């Protein structure tokens, strides 16, 4: 299994491509859909699904363009189904003053809850890690985890968007992410990868 990414859009969001020998998953198609489509063609394996860590605008901006080319299921926690069509909830409206257009999606996602799931031949342990957003999910594979905007390399997710909550975020990090193997690579929604071991002294977690 391997993971690669493109960093795209106004928020420099990481869109991930997760491959096994014969299948492909796409994570958080953020924006600049032509670049994502070009990478999908380059990888040249059947795309079997799109998994969303959460539904903020900078993680869904290219979703409909990808679905127009690939008729595949979209997976998201049901807490954020309505974020897809509501710029007030997905954060796009907050940045309208800076010229950001309203970003929405017409996707009809499948609900993912915490627990073990199987998508094609990908075995995934799904963790519900709210705080940055109410339905934030972490996807744990055998060799790495994709953590969305819950934890960053030297940082943590913001909690000033709709239904964000700092105490909930800290609990998700301490009692969910920090229970993972300390050397497991963690791939965030922004910035470089990290590990639990590397975030023990994260300055944003001191005092909690």
How many structural domains are present in the chain? 1
- pLDDT reported for residue 206: 82
pTM of the model: 0.97
Contacts of 111 (CB under 8 A, 6+ apart): 75, 76, 77, 78, 81
How many CA atoms are closer than 13 Å to the CA of 39, on its beta-carbon side?
21
Beta bridge partners of 118: 123
pLDDT class of 152 with cuts at 50, 70, 90: very high
Closest CA to 128 of 168, 167, 155, 157: 168
- pLDDT reported for residue 72: 98
Give backbone dihedrals phi and psi of 124, rounded to 5 degrees, phi first.
-130, 135
Which of helix, strand or coil describes residue 126?
A: strand
Of 99-103, 142-146, 197-201, the one with minimum mean pLDDT is: 99-103
Q: In the predicted model, is pLDDT for residue 207 greater than 80?
A: no
CATH code at position 48: 3.60.15.10
Task: Tell me which residue range forms the domain holding 8.
Answer: 2-205
């Amino acid at each position: 299994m391997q993971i690669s990414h493109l960093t795209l859009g106004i928020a420099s969001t990481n869109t991930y491509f997760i491959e096994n020998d014969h299948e492909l998953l796409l994570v958080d198609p953020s924006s600049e859909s032509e670049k994502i489509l070009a990478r999908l063609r380059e990888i040249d394996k059947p795309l079997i699904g799109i998994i969303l860590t959460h539904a903020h605008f900078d993680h869904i901006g290219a979703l409909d363009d990808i679905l127009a080319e690939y008729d595949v299921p979209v997976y998201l926690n049901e807490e954020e189904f309505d974020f897809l069509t509501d710029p007030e909830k997905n954060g796009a409206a907050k940045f309208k003053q800076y010229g950001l257009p309203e970003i929405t999606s017409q996707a009809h996602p499948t609900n993912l809850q915490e627990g073990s799931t199987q998508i094609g031949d990908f075995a995934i342990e799904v963790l519900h890690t709210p705080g940055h957003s109410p339905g934030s999910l972490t996807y744990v594979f055998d060799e790495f985890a994709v953590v969305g905007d819950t934890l960053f390399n030297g940082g943590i997710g913001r909690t000033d968007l709709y239904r964000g909550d700092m105490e909930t975020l800290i609990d998700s990090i301490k009692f969910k992410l920090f229970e993972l193997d300390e050397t497991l690579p963690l791939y965030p929604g922004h910035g470089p990868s990290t590990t639990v071991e590397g975030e023990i002294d994260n300055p944003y977690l001191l005092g909690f």
